[in-house]
Amino acid sequence: MAKFTLFLVHGIGIHRDPSWADETIEMLAQAWDSTIDLDSTVYDHIDIVPITYDEVFEDYLDDFADLGKAVLSDTLALSSNERGALSKTLSDSKITDKHFLWSYLVDVVLYKMDIVKAQVNALVAKQLYQRISQGSTSDEYGIIAHSLGTRVINDTLQTIQSGTANESNFYQQGYRIKFLMQISDVTDLFSLPLNSDKHPPKDVYPHGTFDYLRTVTNRFDPIARMIPTKLNHWPDGRASDFYMGRSVYQDIMLEHVHETNVHGLTHYMLHPEITDEIFDLCGFGRLLKEPNVRRKAFPVVGPQVQPSLRTALRELIHDAKALADNSWQTYVNLVIRFGDLSTEHGHDQAPQTHHNGSGASA
């Protein structure tokens, strides 16, 4: 077989260009070196392709800022000194800083807007297609999506599948997506706030859109735990099916806490159960070295983490369950408290590139 093509789809936060995935790719490379019984590197066998759609959100946010600035600043007859003073005041007061809530929720709110969603879907479809169409229909393709990306990729695949062969429906051109791994799946979160989903992912299921689905949740990730994956739209019995020697669907529950941002993609990628599953789905399962031993040896609490964080996260989840389920108030409450908790335990608000700090980028 040719190289496996693995797409990575980001979640909420700042992901302006494909370099957002550098750290995740490096973690996959390290996991490959330590777990796969081959002398070659992951890059020799798997093409890892980051997908980026955050530019759409960022462009809208820039527009909003420009419009406000045009009304409040540029059109007022302020001298340049006064404008500078105003800018400094805003900066000193941290009024222009992106709050945790802003960083996490504004992308979700924008994606719920149909004109934004349609543009994001078109952009993601374009990137997927440009890469897939370079390969053969005998090649294999997989997708790992995180957080908001889980919903984005569901919508995009559903839209692609409903189209025609000459409008980038690659399924009708002979291509298949082998697997979709949804990390911190928020697909069903979009029923908030009115308990209704305008565009439910009704046509996304095996074997129409992909062969295998994996949902991955950390027990202490409040975003993922808020509304668990339902798969209500799947045909009866499909979730328990076996296909080509694998279970069609698996829900993988983790419970490690190695960083304050347990929601982050890189935090999920630390766990050998996830990287093992990725390599297995990519076709290298028989080359995994002692998977059970490594998984058992993986510490539940990371070396840099105080046990108090784990306790606090457990309490957060417990308290959230006591609130009214499936309401936007509960969700916002949970996100705010998760932000407070992360801050309290040293989580820096500024976007960072290293998972040790696990910044607002998620």
| Binding segment (CB under 8 A) for another protein, from list 65-73, 79-87, 189-197, 289-297 | 65-73
33 binds another protein (CB under 8 A): no
Q: What is the 3-state secondary structure (H, E, C) of 141-189?
A: EEEEEECHHHHHHHHHHHHHHCCCHHHCCHHHHCCCCCEEEEECCCHHH
Residues 141-180 close enough to bind another protein by CB under 8 A: 159-160, 162-176, 178
Among 284, 352, 361, 362, binds another protein (CB under 8 A): 284
Among 67, 253, 300, 350, binds another protein (CB under 8 A): 67
Total residues at the site for another protein (CB under 8 A)?
69
115: CB partners within 8 A, 6+ apart: none
Minimum distance, C-beta of residue 99 to another protein, in the bound complex (Å): 16
24 binds another protein (CB under 8 A): no
Minimum distance, C-beta of residue 211 to another protein, in the bound complex (Å): 7
Whole-number Å distance between alpha carbons of 59 and 63 = 6
| Binding segment (CB under 8 A) for another protein, from list 12-20, 134-142, 251-259, 321-329 | 134-142
165: CB partners within 8 A, 6+ apart: 172, 173
Judged by CB, which is closer to another protein: 22, or 63?
Answer: 63
298 binds another protein (CB under 8 A): no
Residues 216-275 close enough to bind another protein by CB under 8 A: 243-246
Angle value at C-alpha 105, between 28 and 25, nearest 5 degrees: 10
Whole-number Å distance between alpha carbons of 57 and 63 = 10
Widest distance between CA atoms in the chain: 72
DSSP secondary structure string, 278-320?
HHIIIIIGGGB--HHHHHHHS-SB-TT--HHHHHHHHHHHHHH
Can you give the binding site for another protein, defined by CB under 8 A? 1-3, 38, 44-45, 59-60, 63-64, 66-67, 71, 75-76, 110, 112-119, 121-123, 125-126, 129-130, 133, 136-138, 140, 159-160, 162-176, 178, 199, 207, 211, 243-246, 280-287
